[in-house]
A and B are shown apart, each in its own frame.
Chain A
């Protein structure tokens, strides 16, 4: 039995990373847009934190002087020069899908191609801010369709596993970034008083992770930095938590180990990271520095991604 090409594995992995990024960016812009509507006073800093979460703040500063809604929306949605824009991420997802067409099902290809054909023009009309929430909702619908067709039509073999790994690595990274740009809200100093925890701020965090409803469902009125950090980092019931992602990464890599009959260095590294997450309690994380923990995690996650790329011959 001949294994798939390393380039194909790379295409599948990146197709899904970009698709996940599309979804997360759409959510992030949505959360930022809500903030800008409800709190005109701090609008600038809210958009700044959206851009730094997306890792595009420097590129934005080169292009614009003002952190206002029209600028940020134009930059994050339709800007073809911004590698972090929805346009560019979706184009990259589709390009990778085209490259791996022989590995994905017709349904998956058509779902991605449909998303591209419909959204690319919608992006160009995104300067109409009244339609923005609608556009962002359509993006989430399209990504949900792609995910659904992946789940519903793809064989559970190595192809599927590289797709999953791409989604999980990207999602863990995005959740860590969302938390990190708001880490100051969750500092022990602001938490000690209890009442000073800014309700709108933490709602933005939860909304960016599509977790606000689940959080209320699970925690009722108990809102504290510990409970939010615990939810987004440690709660394996939340599919966007870092612990959930790492549980799934370890399980997916284990499936690959069985399928290929080879254990690779990335298996040990993933296990090590998983243990590191489990062993770092939320109390300890907040006590010793949430920002430091997250920066360290983002670097670890990137190292794991690189190791997967090396171990499975993504590149010549």
Chain B
């Protein structure tokens, strides 16, 4: 199975010998009858379909509900590796919040010349309406899903910060539920840290961010664009697990200076909104006037401190891929420390030297749109045909500032179950972080996304990627 060459396999390392975090699991795995494993794989799929853990694919004719493929072999991380990662993530998240506060206030980082002015002022995701606004607790990004990739035993990189609206946490929780159902005996023998208190932590974290005007127990709601949104299942799941209302824009209205939801007995004020609606659609009076998903006037109440919106409007700027390339500077600027987690080397195509290099090396690089997400609109050089590369070259030279390029990383692999037995596939990892005024919580686990196709590096579910349960061990 291990080709022993370029890719680091999380179970078998570079050399084919079972690594320590997998030792116990591997021994148990060899005792499971392969046909039984396949049966469990089918059971898991039926379970997902039945529970309705599906997503809608944009651009599909009938907006069909699809399942994200789920693989039964867990991705295992040792306690030591995990504590190293969490320290790095916490540092990064603190820096992100400080950065967001700064660019919407004094803009010290621009004055210091550490990042170019135009990256902020010319950025569509920069919300001028947020300048001078103080969000409750001065937190901008409350819920973060840092994307990490690994290339070796000690080589972790941050690929994206996802400080705007990370999704996928419901899969972390449902994947674990499924594994507990399928393999209860494994969990009694391998010490795996629990992820199950995420909804309670999320609720606590949202409540702690309530506006100062809120007396008593805050009323919390999850704001969804509706049942046709690709992540609707997750919105409903989180509201349900937290025991809060799931609202749509037309359920809300500004009443007597408060944002209120229409209940069977009239309008009731809301204190904290966990919104899964983009900035642009949040408030037709303040942003996109065409929006049917938002709440007219909600932003005015927000500015006046009458409601907490998580994540704060304007947070999306930190997901910009050109800004990402400055993250090491950003971390250092605000924390005074060297970054604990590495960035992936990034060429900014806006810079002539970099552009020249990128154009010369397209077949080796991954090129992404600076505002893109979900794996749309990107070029994976080594997997692209000559014609695709030529077509991309034209787009790139027409608007270089719209792109960044990164080396094609030799992403680590984890075995998946295929018809022909176990086979290695590339993975990434998205841990979920909760920020409240008094603490940062990183739930021990996360979403492991896996490219189901042999050799593929694209793990996005919108592009056919699957998921795995992620185990963080209790001790090494």
Complex contacts, B251 vs chain A, CB 8 Å: 5-7, 316
| Chain B residue, CB-CB nearest to A102 | B240
Given contacts A101-B236, A101-B240, A102-B239, contact A5 B262 (CB under 8 A): yes
**Does B137 sit at the interface, judged by CB under 8 A?**
no
Quick one: which of A2, A9, A158 contacts B245, CB cutoff 8 A?
A2
> Is B248 within 8 A of A7, CB to CB?
yes
Measured CA separation A114–B49 after assembly (Å): 9
> Is B245 within 8 A of A5, CB to CB?
yes
**Does A109 sit at the interface, judged by CB under 8 A?**
yes
Complex contacts, B264 vs chain A, CB 8 Å: 3-6, 9, 158, 260, 312-313
| Chain A residue, CB-CB nearest to B239 | A102
Complex contacts, B263 vs chain A, CB 8 Å: 2-6, 313
Given contacts A98-B232, A102-B239, A109-B52, contact A2 B268 (CB under 8 A): yes
> Is A316 within 8 A of B265, CB to CB?
no
Quick one: which of B50, B227, B245, B250 contacts A117, CB cutoff 8 A?
B50
**Does B266 sit at the interface, judged by CB under 8 A?**
yes
Tell me the smallest distance from the CB of B264 to a CB of chain A, in Å: 4
Tell me the smallest distance from the CB of A112 to a CB of chain B, in Å: 10
Tell me the smallest distance from the CB of A163 to a CB of chain B, in Å: 13
Interface residues of A: mostly helix, strand, loop or mixed? helix
Q: Which of B12-54 touch A at CB < 8 Å?
A: 49-52
Interface residues on A, range: 20 to 34
Tell me the smallest distance from the CB of B381 to a CB of chain A, in Å: 41
Complex contacts, A102 vs chain B, CB 8 Å: 236, 239-240, 245-246
Q: Which of A243-266 touch B at CB < 8 Å?
A: 260, 262
Complex contacts, B232 vs chain A, CB 8 Å: 98
Complex contacts, B50 vs chain A, CB 8 Å: 110, 113-114, 117
| Chain B residue, CB-CB nearest to A110 | B50
> Is B227 within 8 A of A316, CB to CB?
no
Complex contacts, A158 vs chain B, CB 8 Å: 264
Complex contacts, A226 vs chain B, CB 8 Å: none
Tell me the smallest distance from the CB of B145 to a CB of chain A, in Å: 22
Tell me the smallest distance from the CB of A230 to a CB of chain B, in Å: 37
> Is B236 within 8 A of A260, CB to CB?
no
Tell me the smallest distance from the CB of B240 to a CB of chain A, in Å: 4
Q: Which of A272-316 touch B at CB < 8 Å?
A: 312-313, 316
> Is A117 within 8 A of B51, CB to CB?
no
Given contacts A2-B245, A3-B268, A5-B245, contact A98 B52 (CB under 8 A): yes
Quick one: which of A95, A106, A312 contacts B227, CB cutoff 8 A?
A95
Measured CA separation A131–B194 after assembly (Å): 49
Measured CA separation A2–B247 after assembly (Å): 14
Given contacts A2-B245, A6-B262, contact A99 B227 (CB under 8 A): yes
Quick one: which of A95, A110, A260, A262 contacts B51, CB cutoff 8 A?
A110
Measured CA separation A67–B31 after assembly (Å): 63
7 closest A-B pairs by beta carbon, nearest first, are: A3-B263, A312-B264, A102-B240, A101-B236, A3-B265, A6-B262, A3-B264
Q: Give 8 CB contacts A-B under 8 Å.
A: A2-B219, A3-B263, A3-B268, A4-B263, A4-B264, A6-B251, A9-B264, A113-B50
User: Which residues of B are in contact with A by a Cβ distance under 8 Å?
Assistant: 49-52, 219, 226-227, 232, 236, 239-240, 245-248, 250-251, 253, 261-266, 268
